[in-house]
Amino acid sequence: MSFDYDMPAIAGIDWATAHRYLPSKEDLQRVLKEMVSGAARETDRLLSYRDAVMKDPSDENFDLFRIQAHALKASVRSIGSDLFDEAFALETAGKEKDGHKVAGDTEHFVNAYLKLADELKVITGEAEGKKSFDAAEFERDIDGIGKAMDAFDVTDLQRLNEKVQSTDVPDSFREWLGKLGEAVRDLESEKVAECCEKIKGLLKELS
């Protein structure tokens, strides 16, 4: 399926599924920002309901846990995350009053959910320490990466890569910037050169 916008590859996310639920980029960005900003609050709530179930396995506490698991299930489903199955299993555990599963599986899901929310910050622009985007400076750094790779100057290569990776780039750059980071990490000169050319092409489109 083709979209009218690009999204960076993130492990466990199927953007085609997300597109079915949220066909416009604006809607998807809104939901992603809500998920990222509310991740700690919503997972803390799930953990508190788990603790309540473990302390007092009453119908009311199981229902509260089930409702919160359902909300988190809806959140991950709408963005095409493979955490849907874990969330559904927790919701089912709450419905069936399975205290063993509630106690044993909630923490793993919460950790995975928080990790995903952190990874999504690269899309929502909420990643900490992001440097503002300056096209001319960014192009100089990309050229520098290419030259450092050609000279096999690993120190300068890694320094410049860290600099560009910490820049708050436009959405259209993120996929190729991610590929560049992987190529630099693996010291694959041909892939570094390809990524640099693709990114310079995107820079030309901005001018």
Domain that holds residue 156: 135-206
What's this model's pTM, rounded to 2 decimal places? 0.60
Residue 68 and residue 154 in one domain: no
User: What are φ and ψ of residue 47, in 5° steps?
Assistant: -65, -35
**Which band of pLDDT confidence, cut at 50, 70 and 90, is reported for residue 2?**
very low
* Domain assignment of residue 165, yes or no: yes
Q: What is the pLDDT of residue 129?
A: 55
Domain count along the chain: 2
Residue 119 and residue 26 in one domain: yes
Q: Is residue 109 classed as helix, strand or coil in its secondary structure?
A: helix
Domain ends where: 64, 89, 124? 124
The gap from C-alpha 38 to its chain's centroid, in whole angstroms, comes to 14
Residue 104 and residue 143 in one domain: no
* Domain assignment of residue 25, yes or no: yes
Q: Give the pLDDT confidence of 104-144 residue by residue, as tens digits.
A: 999 999 999 998 988 888 777 665 556 678 889 999 999 99
Written as one string, the DSSP assignment of 123-154 is HHT--TTPBPP-HHHHHHHHHHHHHHHHHT-H
